[in-house]
Every structure is written in C-alpha cells, then in structure tokens.
Structure 1
Amino acid sequence: MLANMGGPETVRLLGGKKIMLQKWHGMFVAGESLGECFYLALSIDRACHAQRALLQTGRPYHSPTGEEVARWSRAYERIWPSMVRKVERLQPDFAL
C-alpha cells in the first residue's frame, strides 16, 4: 500500500524500502496496512523535526544502535490500535 499513491516508478525507486524522502517533493511511505503507513509517516515527520532541533544546537549527539531502531520500529503494533480508539472516541463518524 502506498500512502501517497505513487505509480510504478515510485515502487521501483523505493527498492523494497518503506520510506522515501524526495528533495523538494515530500515523502512516499509504503506499508502492509494503513496503520503501518500512518505510523511510518508520523514517525519520519517527528524524526525530521527532532533531527533539525538537534542539529541546531551544534552539540555532539548519539546515534541509536540497530537494535534500538528495530525495537522502536516494532512499537507501531502497540500504538496503532490506541490511535484508532482515540479518533473513534473524538470523531464517532470516523471509519477506516
């Protein structure tokens, strides 16, 4: 599923990856479900904001290990159901 609904060229450029950032054109996100696409898009947006804020400090920083990244990447499985419940509570006419 491509959240940005790109065509065959986009799929080819993704090359099996789940996120592609394009200079001046935004991002493409691919996932197994709408929930995964939403979580990936939200995560990359937050990561970009955090990286920008971090780089603006001019101070040295710690890059996460592969293990840390993998653990955080699995977190969406727990987060998505709670996001759906919240939007259903706040917006009862919402439907996937």
Structure 2
Amino acid sequence: MSTYKLVCPHCHARMRIRTSEGQHIFLRIAYMQCTNEACGFVARAEFQMTHEMSPSGMPNPAVRLPVADVVIRRQAMRTADDQPDLLDQLEMERA
C-alpha cells in the first residue's frame, strides 16, 4: 500500500499506483489510476529524489545528492506540520 496521498485532479478521489518501474537510483516512474471507477483517469508520474535532507547512517558511496539548503529544509518542516491534506479538506467540506 502506498503512503503517498495523491488525489485525482478531476474528481478528487484517491489515486493509487498500479505499477512502477525504476529508471535510475533516484528516479521511479509510476502509472497511477483514480479509484473512482466512474472517473477512470489514468496518469504517468515521476518520483525523483532531488536533495539530501538528512545524511544516512549507512552511507553508500555511489549515492550523491546535493544537500538541501535551509530554505528547502524549512519548507519540508512547514509542509509536514501545518499543510492540510486535500482528502481531509474534501471530507470536511462534504460533512
């Protein structure tokens, strides 16, 4: 089960990853499907690692990502704490 909370841009139902394939150590291609059968939207997505936020305790010498600057680290902290999840927002609006 995916831990990503991705929503369909058309009907706002949850999207699920049907299949994915690794292209590179830092890049994964995913094929996603809307869980709303009436909608039927399918899309291709790319998930890419771009910056190191925290160093590994078991570093692999082949892994070289730029270290995230303070702006990126602050965005990650802010997003994790105070950005509402879109699905939660939709459920609140429907209630």
TM-score > 0.5 by shorter chain: no
Q: Which has the higher helix share?
A: 1
Larger Rg: 2
TM-score, normalised to structure 1's length?
Answer: 0.24
TM-score, normalised to structure 2's length?
Answer: 0.25
